[in-house]
Amino acid sequence: MADTKDTAQQQPKFDWDYDVPDTPFWRDLPFTAGRNFLTCYSPSELEDMNFDGTLSVPSKFAFLLSLLEARLATRKAAAAPVLLHVADYPEWARLMLGIETMQKNLDMPEEAETLRIMLETSEGDRRVSWLNMLAGFKLRHGEYAEAERLEREVLPWMQKHERLGVDSPQALGTTRTIIEALWKQGGSKVDEARRLAEETAVLVEAMGSSKFAKYQEEERQMLRDLVAELEKS
C-alpha cells in the first residue's frame, strides 16, 4: 500500500496552490486571504513582518489591508509618471486582488470601487477573474439575476480553458454561484438550480480520476453544504 505522505507528495501542484503558514495569525483566516496577501511579497519581506496571532479576525483583515494599501501607494509613486497597471500589470493585479479580498472579508463598500477599477484597467482574458469576483459581490448584495448573468459569461471560458476545464475548482466554484443565484431568484429558477446541482454532483463524483482528484472531497462537501443551506431558505 502506498504511503499517505508519498501519495500527497505525488499530487499535482497548481498555480493557485500556496502553502500558507500554519501559525496562529493565519490559522483562522480563509486560505484565499493568506494566499492573496502573501503572494504580494518576497520571502525576505515577509520575514521582516510581525503577524500578531492575538488579533481578532477583523483586526487581522484590517492589518493586512493597511499593508497592501501602503505598498500599492509606494509602487504607484515609484512607477510614476507611468501608471502601475501599465508599468507592471502582474504586481498591480496581485495588490488589487489582495486589497479586494480584505475588503470583501470586512464587508467594506469600497470593494465595489476596487472591482470597478480592476475591470476598467483590464482587457481580454484578464477580465475574467475580475468578472467572477464581481459576480460574487452581486450575489452577496442580493443582485441575484446579475450574479447569474455574469457567471454564465465566465463559466464557458473556464470550462474550455486548457489549464482548467469542467471539473476544475474554478469552474465548480462558478457553478455553485450560479446555483445559489438561481435558487435565490425563486420560482422556476429553484428547479433549474436543483438540476444544475445534480449535474454538478455528477461531475464532482467523477473527479477521482481527473487531474483535480485532490480537490474532490472538498468540492463534494462545499456542494452538499450549499444545497443544504439553500434547502433551509
pLDDT value at residue 12: 79
Task: Reply yes or no on whether the pLDDT at 83 is more than 70.
Answer: yes
Cβ–Cβ < 8 Å for 35, 51 = no
CA pair distance 41, 35, nearest whole angstrom: 11
Assess whether pLDDT exceeds 60 at residue 2: no
Query: Binning pLDDT at 50, 70 and 90, where does residue 74 land?
Result: very high
- The three-point CA angle 37-56-135 to 5° equals 50
Proportion of the chain above pLDDT 70, given as a percent:
96
**Distance, CA of 9 to CA of 16 (rounded, Å):** 17
Helix (H) or strand (E) holding 160: helix 144-160
For residue 214, give Cα distances in angstroms to 88, 208, 210: 33, 8, 9
Q: What are the C-alpha distances in Å from 59 to residues 119, 125, 137, 139?
A: 28, 34, 22, 25
Q: Is the pTM of this model over 0.85?
A: yes
Tens of pLDDT along 147-187?
999 999 999 999 999 899 999 999 999 999 999 999 999 99
For residue 119, give every residue at least 6 positions away whose Cβ sits within 8 Å of its Cβ, in sequence order, or none: 127, 130, 131, 134
Domains and CATH numbers, the chain: 11-122 (no CATH), 124-233 (1.25.40)
Share of the chain above pLDDT 90, in %: 88
pLDDT in the model for residue 9? 45
* Interval 106-120 mean pLDDT: 96
Check pLDDT > 90 for residue 91.
yes
- Per-residue pLDDT of 196-228, as tens digits, reads 999 999 999 999 989 999 999 999 999 999 999
